[in-house]
Amino acid sequence: MGPMAENLVDELTVAWNRDPAADPNAPLLVMFHGFGADENDLMGLVPGLPDEFVVASVRAPQREGYGYRWFPLYSDEAFDTAQVQAALEPVVAWVRQQAEGRPSVSLLGFSQGMCIATSVVRAMPGEIAAVAGLSGFTLPDPLPMFRDGALEQEPFKLFWGRDPQDPVVNEALVNQSAEWLLTHADSTKVQYQGMGHSIAQQELRHVNEYLTHHVLKA
């Protein structure tokens, strides 16, 4: 890793549920927030997740209103490849660094954060135990850093929760994501009526069960 990558890694702003250095042998769960939120947004989920995990929530790099975004979603620059790659590279380097010596790394992403979580797996196939994707989508176009072929050989474990009437993530993105996931992920798909674009308590219980079964007991 060159000096540039190391500087980028230092620049990540991360919220932790506890000091990772004090619990170096715990499994790691990394969370990625949605468009316009920040690293504290998903920390409210922690009490509902298995307490074996050291949990890190990462702040996206670009300002968006009062919060942050991973890359533009609503302009001519929506899904701009260079900006997605710029958001992902330091995250992948950081996740690799944090993974050292730990029994497993799992990811959780909400909305645009699900796009980041699934993109990290595409850059690090075989290195992630499981992904929880909540009310989100996958990146429509592959990046040069992705190794999707490896996921076709060995699909990653994915919990995908959403409301079929989600008013934010459009149907085209959902369908494109579902189609890509068919051949790259071993998916558990659960739909929650009336949840909208949010995270339901029942869904959080399901994520807890999923991580317990697929990561902690695996």
pLDDT value of position 169: 95
pLDDT at 28 over 90: yes
In whole angstroms, give the CA distance from residue 45 to residue 208: 10
Q: How confident is the model at residue 218 (pLDDT cuts 50, 70, 90)?
A: confident
In whole angstroms, give the CA distance from residue 114 to residue 146: 16
Domains in the chain: ranges and CATH: 3-216 (3.40.50.1820)
pLDDT, one tens digit per residue, over 57-97 is 999 999 999 999 999 998 899 999 999 999 999 999 999 99
pTM over 0.75: yes
pLDDT at 108 over 80: yes
pLDDT value of position 11: 78
Q: How confident is the model at residue 148 (pLDDT cuts 50, 70, 90)?
A: very high
State the DSSP code for 17: S
How many C-beta neighbours within 10 Å does residue 23 have?
16
In whole angstroms, give the CA distance from residue 182 to residue 57: 28
Q: How confident is the model at residue 3 (pLDDT cuts 50, 70, 90)?
A: very low
Mean pLDDT of the chain: 94
In whole angstroms, give the CA distance from residue 180 to residue 76: 24
pLDDT at 151 over 90: yes
pLDDT value of position 199: 98
In whole angstroms, give the CA distance from residue 86 to residue 61: 9
Q: How confident is the model at residue 2 (pLDDT cuts 50, 70, 90)?
A: very low
What value does the mean pLDDT take over residues 122-148?
Answer: 97
Select the more confidently predicted residue: 10 or 45.
45
By percentage, how much of the chain surpasses pLDDT 70? 95
First to last CA, the chain: 31
pLDDT at 180 over 80: yes
pLDDT value of position 10: 59
Burial 127-150 (b: 16+ CB within 10 A, else e): ebbbbbbbbbbbbeeebeebebeb
Residue 16 φ then ψ, to 5°? -115, 150
pLDDT value of position 4: 46
pLDDT value of position 7: 45
Residue 117 tokens, joined:
């979580």
In whole angstroms, give the CA distance from residue 211 to residue 194: 24
- Strand extents, DSSP E, 25-155: 28-32, 54-58, 62-64, 67-69, 105-110, 130-134
